[in-house]
Amino acid sequence: MESLAGYFLIATSNMPDPRFARRVIYMCSHDEEDGAMGFIVNQPVPEITLAEVYLSMKLPAPEFELPHVFMGGPVEMEAAFFLHSSEYNSSGFMDVNNSIRLSRDPRILNDIAENKGPKEYLFLLGYAGWGPGQLETELMHKGWLTLPAESEDIFNIPPERMWERITAKYGIDITLFGDVTGSA
């Protein structure tokens, strides 16, 4: 199977795991040897604000409005990640594609506070991970629809509308989705 890095996984009605119901996952890595890793990009965590993250790290919070903190997935939920636009260079980043990078560099918070951070970003806690072959099995059982991902979809569609809007963009009414298999 071709790598799904840079694609969306859209949960279908066949998704047996309720943690992923109506979820959109942006895939950052996927190969036969290591498995796959991605981030839920439509699950804000209302109980945690980015301002509280600044305070917990003893950093001065910026004066401007900050975006939501997102639950990136059920694996290592105490680990923090940034998905951000590629014009910004952070330490140890990984290019997912030409427009999106993944980083764990905490200095991004300082740069955001000083208006020197990425133009677009998500701050995520945890990630979604699959062992070798595990995601392929879920795809065979039609638990996921795969669609190309674009950065504007990640950063500009309201999280509560993302599941429907991304699929509608490709002419799919996901609320009716059942036996049709999506493929990359």
Structural domain includes residue 18: yes
Digit-coded pLDDT (tens) for 63-120: 888 888 999 999 999 999 999 999 999 888 999 999 999 999 999 999 999 999 999 9
Structural domain includes residue 108: yes
Structural domain includes residue 169: yes
Structural domain includes residue 184: no
Torsion of CA 171, 173, 177, 180, to 10 degrees: -10
What's the CATH code of the domain at 43? 3.40.1740.10
pLDDT at 177: 62
Question: Which residues in the chain belong to E strands, given as ranges?
Answer: 7-11, 24-31, 35-40, 44-49, 68-71, 75-85, 94-95, 100-103, 121-130, 144-148
Say which DSSP state 108 is in. Answer: H
Do 11 and 175 touch, CB atoms closer than 8 A?
A: no
Give the residue numbers spanning the domain of 87.
7-176
d(CA 24, CA 3): 17
d(CA 35, CA 25): 15
Structural domain includes residue 24: yes
What's the rounded mean pLDDT across residues 54-66?
88
Structural domain includes residue 182: no
Structural domain includes residue 64: yes
Q: What are the C-alpha distances in Å from 118 to residues 7, 82, 127, 130, 156?
A: 21, 10, 21, 28, 14
Structural domain includes residue 57: yes
Query: Which stretch of DSSP H or E encloses residue 91?
Result: none
* Average pLDDT value for the chain: 91
**How many domains are contained in the chain?**
1
d(CA 32, CA 34): 6
